A and B are shown apart, each in its own frame.
Chain A
């Protein structure tokens, strides 16, 4: 008896699991992501010389590292598919929703892993302890959701367009700038600076950004992927 047809969740999981298995075997994106983050963090650590950073400056540093690490690797999930011609197999096999959300989920996993690894290293190497862990964790999760929603769609766009290099950063930066500004403000509070009065609005903006960016990405993805 044949298997029952896969549900949407099964198909999304299949894309996610395929990417995770491929990544486990090749370390294609992980190497780029973590090496960039560690090199940048080390450079900043030497540059500041352990001098006391302000919470604002520390939060700027943290998100600069995460932002550029994300740009160095998150587009790879699509770029690699196109360069190795597996994108044609994927297009003729998987529904668009499964591809978008499967890749979205995989990128989210990568970014959350980066944040988990980066957090203790950042605290130790830049001597900047987190004061409010609830705010810190909420900011990391909402920040990752916002970053991933945008970079997944733009990654597909540059991969399909056949344009690589700086275009990913150039396209992503203006879209992500509002997100980064709010993330820096909420992270500043987590480091014991800033004004807690604006936190609620900050989280609302971050949550709304993630929802809007994910929805827009999901709706626009078929036009990028198929046309």
Chain B
């Protein structure tokens, strides 16, 4: 297992958040707070804006109004460096097909300064069930294996806030079990955007988008 230092002081706070595309309202005046050890399910029907909310929280999109604060203890984190403590597993994120699984993890570690060693790559791949396939190009992976690799990268990064959009998409039974088991062992703030009631039930609270 890799990267299990707890981020005990992290907190995400959203106040007065509004986002719409034309007449389609994603959220209006939304507020929520999420801290380390807490989890939140973002739910809503297809096209309601779950992925949009995920992007806003991750700093990949600006809201129309409202404030989003990421902080460690009393120190607020500048938006420009949110990426340092956020992990994302989403259909909107892909890893490099022309690199191997291990090369992808090595790239993330080097460019992100995650401070991990080569042995950690193997441990992360083992944890998601990709042990022995690390040297294969990602282009040869199935869609389920690519999803597992995204989790390996997210776990290796050891983020304070992990955001999952459609968390079990393309995963088989073993993959789903591994992911939930790994998440249960980690201490972090977790956001799960999903249509699946069984996935939403794993979170402590819910946020409904599109109303």
List A residues at the B interface (Cβ < 8 Å). Answer: 2-6, 10-11, 13-15, 18, 21-22, 25-26, 84-86, 88-96, 98, 222, 226-227
Contacts and interface: CB of A to CB of B under 8 A. Distances in A.
Given A18-B99, A22-B98, A4 B92 contact: no
B111 A15 contact: yes
A90 B108 CA distance: 8
Given A3-B115, A14-B107, A85-B94, A92 B58 contact: yes
Most chain B CB within 10 A, of A5, A26, A93, is at A93
B98 A25 contact: yes
Interface residues of B, number: 32
Contacts of B88: 88, 92
Interface of B: 58-60, 62, 80, 83, 86-88, 90, 92-99, 103, 107-113, 115-117, 137, 153, 157
Contact of A222 (B60, B80, B110, B157): B80
A204 to B, nearest CB: 35
Contact of A11 (B80, B87, B113): B113
Contacts of B58: 92
B98 A11 contact: no
Contacts of B103: 21
B85 to A, nearest CB: 10
A207 to B, nearest CB: 30
Given A21-B103, A25-B98, A92 B115 contact: no
Contacts of B110: 6, 10-11, 13-14
Contacts of B80: 96, 222, 226
Contacts of B153: 89
Contact of B93 (A15, A88, A94, A95): A88
A173 B88 CA distance: 38
A10 B114 CA distance: 12
B94 A89 contact: yes
B108 A89 contact: yes
Given A5-B115, A89-B153, 16 more contacts: A3-B116, A5-B113, A6-B110, A13-B110, A14-B110, A18-B107, A25-B137, A26-B98, A86-B93, A86-B94, A88-B60, A89-B94, A90-B111, A91-B83, A92-B60, A92-B93
6 contacts: A14-B107, A25-B137, A88-B92, A92-B58, A92-B83, A95-B111
Given A6-B111, A18-B107, A84 B97 contact: yes
A14 B53 CA distance: 31
A66 B103 CA distance: 33
Nearest to B93: A88
B78 to A, nearest CB: 11
Contacts of A85: 92-94
